[in-house]
Structure 1
Amino acid sequence: MYLATTGRRPDAPPRPPGVGRRVPGTVIALGAVSLVTDVSSEMVTAVLPLYLVLGLGLSPLQFGFLDGLFNGATALVRLLGGRLADRGGGRHRTVAGVGYLLSALSRLGLLLAGGAAGGIAAALAADRLGKGVRTAPRDALISLSAPPEALGRAFGVHRAMDTTGALLGPLVAFAVLWATADAYDAVFVVSFAVGLLGVLVLVLYVPAGTGKPAGTGMPAGTGMPAGAAAPAVAPEPAVAPEPTRRKPGALRDPVFRRVVTAAALLGAATIGDSFLYLLLQRGLDLPPLLFPLLPLGAAACYLLLAVPVGRIADRTGRRAPFLCGHGALLAAYLTLTAPPVWPAAVLTLVLLGVFYAATDGVLMALAGPVLPPEGRAGGLAVLQTGQALARLVGAAGFGAAWTWWGPRPALAAAAVALAAALAAAWRILPTEEVA
């Protein structure tokens, strides 16, 4: 079989000049939805570790278990979201919309919880469930809307827009806290309103079907505006026909199994961004007001690199950038073991941004062409579930190690684990062509 990670299938007919070079409208619309939604979610994410650890007094072990538990719940729901999206000819937008709405409503749960542990847990669970439901259908829409040889760029554009929201969210949270004298409730109210706006953008601008940009009647990837004359040569469909010999179950494909295994191994050695930010805050003795600004460095780097790295992955293959991204994360862990100084903190945030730029969308672009179109959302959900469940283990394990050994020994152990996982993934991940 052929793993389309570097270009078109050898037997595919030539594409007419200019066709498929523009980012499909569906990808842009989904990027706008993610941008607005990430402003909402990152407002809460930026203040949540501080709120739970410093405000409510949770220990690092309790926080790590809570974060890992809810990420695990997200993972399991992704399977359901992917399965529902693939049924009935593709319900990707509907399923994704339910997920976005559930996450927006979770902000009201945080507001009404009033510091009660049970209410906070329920609100966080609702947010993670919403994220779990929407992620696979959204990524499947992107994968089905762009030609295989441009998937890295398409996911890069989407992730860049998504990260713009992640960049703006902490700034909005910082402004709200500054204007309201550290009133967390005000952050939750603004986050809820912005989340509803994201749902509205999805309904208005993302088409209900798959494979066509919003507002056009052309197949995805043609780049033709509505009302434009048809090209002299009929464009090839955005997604090339899949080989008929593929087996229906995603995990029955040996290539896909290897991708899932490598992603899970690396996920188990990932400790979570919240811990990194807490380590930076404690090491530099930052005041609580400045804590929401820490994610901005990583988000800015991710925003700048997402599209260029995606284009590089399309040209050179997606395996190497994915592994190099985890190498950057390993360098971030090692940097944090050094004495806490501002240059080391800035370098840590830059390396974290490089990690996300080289792994998040690149992994979806790597796995997408392996899966048949009618089962792509479900297959991507399996991949995301395996990775998220592995990160549950990593978050809980690091929280326990921090509580028992202290932050620096725990971080050194995490670096060793990531180095071992990286070496294993280098051998497991498939090359660009697999017989």
Structure 2
Amino acid sequence: MYLSISDRNGGKKDLASADLSPAGPRGKPFRLSPVILCLGLVSMLTDVSSESVSAILPLYITGFLGLSTIAFGILDGINQGASAIVRIAASHASDRLGRPKGVALAGYGLSMLARIGLLFASGFWALTGVVTADRIGKGIRTAPRDALIAVSAQPEYLARHFGVHRMLDNIGAASGPLLAFFILMLVPNGYGIVFVVSLAFAAVGVAALALLVPNLKTGAPGGSKPAGKTGPAWGFRWRLLREPGIGRLLVAAGILGLLTVGDGFIYLVLQDRDSFAVQWFPLLYVGTNVVFLVLAVPLGRLADRWGKARVFVAGHVALLACYLLAAAPLGGLGPTVACLVLLGAFYAATDGVLAALASQLTPPDKLATGLGAAQTVVALSRMAASAGFGVLWFALGPSTAMTVVGSCLAAAVAASWFILRGGLRQRTAV
């Protein structure tokens, strides 16, 4: 077993076994690593940048530029999945180099450069190029950053450490839309001002990563292969999928990702139902991200004690409830706030928990590759989900389309639980 924790008798307890048991980790007290705190600060600044843009993008595309929901579905799909193009290569490069900070810095830098492109992009194809570059930057940086978190965290509190990082990350994710809201309140159609402010925060985030985060080693020293292992030096290691548990995790994450439509579509459904003023639209992102940051640490702690797979699946149950509530003919503030709470709970129960699960089931010398594989599967499946939902909306209307996706998600949640449980038992047996 790659990660283990001490039990009360001083022996070793398998983390996969612990994930199937409600008994929580025992041993050392929880201590937050300064590295994780610094990475959280970098993510917070970067998310102020990215989420201030994401909060206005649905209205900017469908309202200001006058493009269709199909066009938005394509762009939102790119926003969800373009990062998958480079995730595996970047994560494998991080493992081979054994120094993930440099790879992560390249990704953050590319996203910063994409913010400059937003100042000049005004058509569909120009926006497509800018969004793709930004998401490729995200794909480069995410797995190396999570690898830094994994090696800096206490193994018995892995999900909680990821939860702390996601909490800091979502302080930025909540602040970005709020910033966009105030800018649009003061300057109607002030999208260009939002783009300039976004660039400034991205630049500060890159500087913080370069100056504050140490260049830690991960995996085997110098990126060397473990004894007895053969295979390509710079390609994806397909044998990783045969590691007990990780293959099943990727299947379950992929199935659920195919039924996870972009947040922008959920918010457009709510706006279509209630017809509230467009300047209030960014506050929907604020509400979701506030719930995310409030619940990230408690649900990470619950995942360490109750089981990561249980919390991960429960998060998708919250997403299902959000879909059904958004599709219901219930207008007003109460149902809208309930949707935001459920969506924030979904992210808090799945984002960091998925990274913790992948870290738990991946060998140390392939840590970034395992994280990258999980993130790639989720990104590709969500890209397909957003593009497909745009077409479904166009054909059936928003409420009916949301009901159809919700019905399929109900079946996927049940199937994914059995897939994950089998994978964890497989890892425990090994």
TM-score interval for Structure 1 and Structure 2 normalised by the shorter chain = 0.7 to 0.9
> Using a 3 Å threshold, how does the CA distance of structure 1 residues 201 and 20 change in structure 2: closer, same or farther?
farther
Kept after mapping to 1: 8 A contact 2:53/2:195: yes
Question: How do residues 172-187 of structure 1 correspond to structure 2 at under 5 angstroms?
Answer: 172-187=179-194
Counterparts of 1:71 and 1:358 in 2: how far apart (Å)? 19
Aligned residue number for residue 51 of structure 1: 60
- Residues 61-117 of structure 1 deviation map (CA, whole Å, 9 limit, x = unaligned): 2211222134332112111210111122x221111111111111111101022x132
Question: How do residues 360-375 of structure 1 correspond to structure 2 at under 5 angstroms?
Answer: 360-375=351-366
Kept after mapping to 1: 8 A contact 2:80/2:262: no
Kept after mapping to 2: 8 A contact 1:20/1:146: no
The letter of the residue matching 2:177 is P
Aligned residue number for residue 406 of structure 1: 397
Say whether residues 1:66 and 2:69 are aligned partners. Answer: no
Say whether residues 1:282 and 2:283 are aligned partners. Answer: no
User: Which TM-score applies when normalising by structure 2?
Assistant: 0.88
3-state secondary structure, aligned to 1:181 = coil
Say whether residues 1:421 and 2:422 are aligned partners. Answer: no
Counterparts of 2:217 and 2:2 in 1: how far apart (Å)? 24
Counterparts of 2:352 and 2:13 in 1: how far apart (Å)? 25
Aligned residue number for residue 112 of structure 1: 120
Question: How do residues 89-104 of structure 1 correspond to structure 2 at under 5 angstroms?
Answer: 90-104=98-112
Percent identity over the alignment is 48
Kept after mapping to 2: 8 A contact 1:85/1:137: yes
Aligned residue number for residue 39 of structure 2: 30
Counterparts of 2:306 and 2:185 in 1: how far apart (Å)? 46
Question: How do residues 122-271 of structure 1 correspond to structure 2 at under 5 angstroms?
Answer: 122-210=129-217, 249-271=239-261
Deviation at 1:179, TM superposition (A): 2.8
Say whether residues 1:272 and 2:262 are aligned partners. Answer: yes
Kept after mapping to 1: 8 A contact 2:3/2:155: no
Aligned residue number for residue 84 of structure 2: 75
The letter of the residue matching 2:140 is V
Deviation at 1:389, TM superposition (A): 0.9
Counterparts of 1:393 and 1:254 in 2: how far apart (Å)? 27
What are structure 1's unaligned runs of at least 5 residues? 212-242
Deviation at 1:3, TM superposition (A): 7.4
Counterparts of 1:254 and 1:202 in 2: how far apart (Å)? 34
The letter of the residue matching 1:43 is S
> Using a 3 Å threshold, how does the CA distance of structure 1 residues 396 and 185 change in structure 2: closer, same or farther?
same
Kept after mapping to 1: 8 A contact 2:183/2:194: yes
Counterparts of 1:288 and 1:129 in 2: how far apart (Å)? 30
- Residues 21-74 of structure 1 deviation map (CA, whole Å, 9 limit, x = unaligned): 211111111000000100011110000110001111221122112221343321
Aligned residue number for residue 306 of structure 2: 316
3-state secondary structure, aligned to 2:40 = helix
Say whether residues 1:378 and 2:386 are aligned partners. Answer: no
Kept after mapping to 2: 8 A contact 1:97/1:134: yes
CA RMSD of aligned residues (A): 2.4
Deviation at 1:12, TM superposition (A): 7.2
Aligned residue number for residue 23 of structure 2: none
Kept after mapping to 2: 8 A contact 1:84/1:91: no
Kept after mapping to 2: 8 A contact 1:6/1:316: no
2:295 to 299, 305, 308: 305
Counterparts of 1:397 and 1:101 in 2: how far apart (Å)? 31
The letter of the residue matching 2:273 is G
User: Which TM-score applies when normalising by structure 1?
Assistant: 0.87
The letter of the residue matching 1:102 is L
Aligned residue number for residue 238 of structure 1: none
Deviation at 1:182, TM superposition (A): 2.3
- Residues 323-345 of structure 1 deviation map (CA, whole Å, 9 limit, x = unaligned): 10000000001101212222111
Kept after mapping to 1: 8 A contact 2:74/2:390: yes
The letter of the residue matching 2:128 is A
Kept after mapping to 2: 8 A contact 1:20/1:147: no
Deviation at 1:10, TM superposition (A): 4.5
Q: How many residues get paired? A: 400
- Residues 272-296 of structure 1 deviation map (CA, whole Å, 9 limit, x = unaligned): 1010011111211121211111111
